[in-house]
Amino acid sequence: MTDQPATPQTEVSQADLDAVEAQLGRPPRGVLAVAYRSPDGTPGVVKTAPRLEDGTPFPTLYYLTDPRLTAEASRQESAGVMRPMQARLATDAELAANYRDAHEKYLRDRNAIEDLGTDFSGGGMPERVKCLHVLMAYALAEGPGVVRLGDESVALACEAGLRGTALPSDWPTTEELGMPDYYALASES
């Protein structure tokens, strides 16, 4: 698979902040940029400051805001998709290396803004699969190839009917990614 470029991150406008507030049902905090826009131009992922305006550390660099995407990430988590992802992470050296590399990149990118002095990145990286919301946001912000398990979560979301609406039409398919059927594996465990 050839890595596709990520959606260019854009300056955040007041209209973007208003849209994100409507999506979240509360004022957004620490937004630096729109890191991913859905095909209709709606913010889907925001890049956030490592420290909020009140000084509170906020280590989540990419935050999923589009309700269609957050609902799908929650649906995948509820269906048990993280269990077989975690099992695969423990047995697939190439996948584990990608996950470690994604973790290191996440830390470098966040620390370039402000170093919080922590090695926590997000989503459970580099050893656990803990939050598909974070992994999906990271994959969408960076584009395919950076965080494989995030790519796979986005591919599952495409199969769930979000391709071309909340997600890019050209995102790699589950077949192109060569990924297992996580839903079947989750039901077996």
Residue 174 · residue 124 · CB < 8 Å: no
CA atoms of 46 and 159, how far apart (whole Å):
23
Report the chain's mean pLDDT, rounded to a whole number: 93
Cα–Cα distance for residue pair 140/36, rounded to 1 Å = 6
Q: What is the model's pTM?
A: 0.93
Residue 28, preceding bond cis, omega within 30 degrees?
no
Tokens of 50: 């490592």
Beta bridge partners of 20: none
| CA–CA gap between residue 10 and residue 127 (Å, rounded) | 31
Q: Classify burial at 27, counting beta carbons within 10 Å of its beta carbon; exposed 0-12, middle 13-18, buried 19 or more.
A: exposed
Q: Which residue pairs from 152-155 have beta carbons closer than 8 angstroms and sit at least 24 positions apart in sequence?
A: 152/85, 152/177, 152/179, 152/182, 153/73, 153/76, 153/81, 155/179
* Whole-angstrom distance, CA of residue 43 vs CA of residue 187: 33
Between CA 137 and CA 123 the distance in angstroms is 10
Checking if the pLDDT of 8 tops 70, the result is: no
The token duo for 8 is 């260019």
pLDDT digits (tens, 9 = 90+) for 56-83: 998 899 999 999 999 999 999 999 999 9
Is residue 6 predicted with pLDDT exceeding 60? no
What is the per-residue pLDDT across 10-43, written as a single tens digit (0 to 9) for each? 778 999 999 999 999 999 999 999 999 999 999 9
Q: Does 3 score more than 90 pLDDT?
A: no
DSSP for residue 50: S
The pLDDT score that the predictor gives to residue 11 is 79
| DSSP code string of 139-166 | HHHH-TTS-HHHHHHHHHHIIIIIBTTT
